[in-house]
């Protein structure tokens, strides 16, 4: 709510607010055409097995390649996408684009990796999701184990989604809880909810070596994950001290700037070329999917 700040009924906005509003208008205006003009691109952040250094998976992260402003991060436009009612459309595009990209790498003979997509709550409503997912995977000749859906705790808590999430899981797509630990202290939903994997939020990782509370929370999460049989990964790992702590407490999968930043598809291709060549010579156990 804007306040009259000059005593005469005029609204004087501070610079930050003005910029925010301009941003919103700009975004709302251009979002529709951005989708049509293919201005969204995906970067992929590798997920690493810190025990071996091997890349174990990828997370697809959307960027908006704005014609004037350049490459914009999701923090700049995701909430506007949601407000403009375009989130479902964007998510559909991300899923298609991930599958298209994986199929391309596969055609090139590369060993492809399971790739996760961030799924917003609104995506689940009123649609024939299972047939849709089957037909996308079919179209690109991929198996469901290529995909992972990251949902947030707010979505995980909505019981109305459970049947659908169970179907997605039965389909063979891994479901993970993103930013785990940030929204709700109740772990009750884990009892009913078909989770396969938990992502420990970066805000706790930052506290390693700084905050014994954060460290205790991380230890509790790793305990819960191992007892309940969930895959586990730590997000936002930036230094060796964090790696050591996480390894010591049984969390060996990590994602963070220490290993890789989110990278354009071209750089991921080079990474896959290296790892595919290595695994061929080593005859290592396949970590890929088809």
**Min. distance of Cβ 284 from ligand C2E in angstroms?**
26
CB nearer to ligand C2E: give 23 or 120: 120
Q: Which of residues 151-170 bind ligand C2E (CB under 6 A)?
A: none
Mark 28-57 with x for binding to ligand C2E (rule: CB under 6 A) and - for no binding: -----------------x------------
Helices (H), 37-195: 74-83, 87-107, 129-140, 153-156, 162-171, 189-192
Q: Which residues pair with 199 in a beta bridge?
A: 233
The conformation of residue 3, written as its DSSP 8-state character, comes to: -
Contact window for ligand C2E (CB under 6 A) among 126-134, 209-217, 234-242, 282-290: 234-242
CB nearer to Mg ion: give 86 or 200: 200
Q: Choose from Mg ion, ligand C2E, none: what does 120 bind? Cβ within 5-8 Å by kind.
A: ligand C2E
Tell how strand 231-235 and strand 55-66 pair up.
unpaired
Q: Choose from ligand C2E, Mg ion, none: what does 147 bind? Cβ within 5-8 Å by kind.
A: none
Question: From CA 57, how far away is CA 235, in angstroms rounded?
Answer: 13
CB nearer to ligand C2E: give 148 or 178: 178
Q: Hey, how many other C-beta atoms are within 10 angstroms of the C-beta on 137?
A: 21
Contact window for Mg ion (CB under 5 A) among 111-119, 167-175, 221-229, 241-249: 111-119
* Tokens, residue 188: 């009750």
Q: How many CA atoms lie within 13 A of 283 on its CB side?
A: 0
**Min. distance of Cβ 195 from ligand C2E in angstroms?**
16
Q: Give the sign of the dihedral formed by CA 245, CA 250, CA 251, CA 257.
A: positive
- Residue 150 binding Mg ion, by CB under 5 A: yes
Q: Residue 63 in contact with residue 72, Cβ under 8 Å?
A: yes
Q: Residue 176 in contact with residue 199, Cβ under 8 Å?
A: yes
Contact window for ligand C2E (CB under 6 A) among 4-12, 101-109, 133-141, 232-240: 232-240
The residue whose two tokens read 């501070």 is 14
Mark 67-96 with x for binding to ligand C2E (rule: CB under 6 A) and - for no binding: ------xxx--x------------x--x--
Tell how strand 70-72 and strand 174-180 pair up.
unpaired
- Residue 97 binding ligand C2E, by CB under 6 A: no
Q: With H, G, I as helix, E, B as strand and everything else as coil, classify residue 132.
A: helix
**Min. distance of Cβ 183 from Mg ion in angstroms?**
11
Contact window for ligand C2E (CB under 6 A) among 17-25, 133-141, 166-174, 255-263: 255-263
Q: Choose from Mg ion, ligand C2E, none: what does 61 bind? Cβ within 5-8 Å by kind.
A: ligand C2E
CB nearer to Mg ion: give 153 or 178: 178
Mark 160-179 with x for binding to Mg ion (rule: CB under 5 A) and - for no binding: ------------------xx
Strands (E) across the chain are located at 40-49, 55-66, 70-72, 115-118, 147-152, 174-180, 197-200, 231-235, 253-255, 263-264
């Amino acid at each position: 709510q804007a306040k009259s700040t000059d005593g005469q009924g005029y609204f004087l906005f501070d610079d930050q607010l003005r910029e925010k509003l301009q941003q919103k208008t700009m975004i709302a205006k251009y979002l529709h055409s951005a989708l049509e003009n293919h201005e969204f691109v995906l970067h992929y952040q590798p997920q690493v097995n810190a025990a071996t250094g091997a890349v174990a998976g990828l997370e697809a992260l959307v960027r908006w390649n704005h014609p004037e402003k350049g490459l914009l991060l999701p923090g700049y436009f995701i909430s506007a996408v949601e407000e403009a009612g375009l989130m479902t459309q964007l998510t559909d595009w991300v899923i298609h684009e991930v599958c298209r990209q994986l199929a391309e790498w596969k055609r090139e003979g590369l060993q492809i990796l399971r790739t996760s997509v961030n799924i917003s709550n609104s995506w689940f409503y009123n649609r024939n999701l299972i047939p849709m997912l089957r037909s996308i995977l079919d179209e690109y000749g991929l198996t469901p184990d290529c995909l992972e859906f990251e949902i947030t705790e707010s979505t995980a808590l909505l019981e109305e989604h459970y049947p659908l999430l169970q179907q997605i899981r039965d389909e063979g797509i891994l479901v993970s809880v993103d930013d785990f630990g940030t929204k709700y202290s109740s772990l009750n939903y884990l009892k009913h909810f078909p989770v396969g994997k938990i992502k420990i939020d970066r805000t706790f990782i930052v506290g390693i070596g700084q905050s014994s509370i954060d460290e205790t929370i991380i230890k509790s999460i790793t305990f819960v994950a191992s007892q309940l049989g969930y895959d586990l990964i730590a997000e936002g790992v930036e230094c060796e001290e964090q790696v050591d702590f996480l390894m010591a407490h049984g969390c060996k999968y990590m994602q963070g700037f220490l290993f890789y930043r989110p990278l354009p598809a071209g750089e991921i291709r080079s990474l896959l070329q290296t790892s595919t060549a290595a695994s061929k010579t080593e005859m290592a156990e396949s970590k890929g999917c088809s």
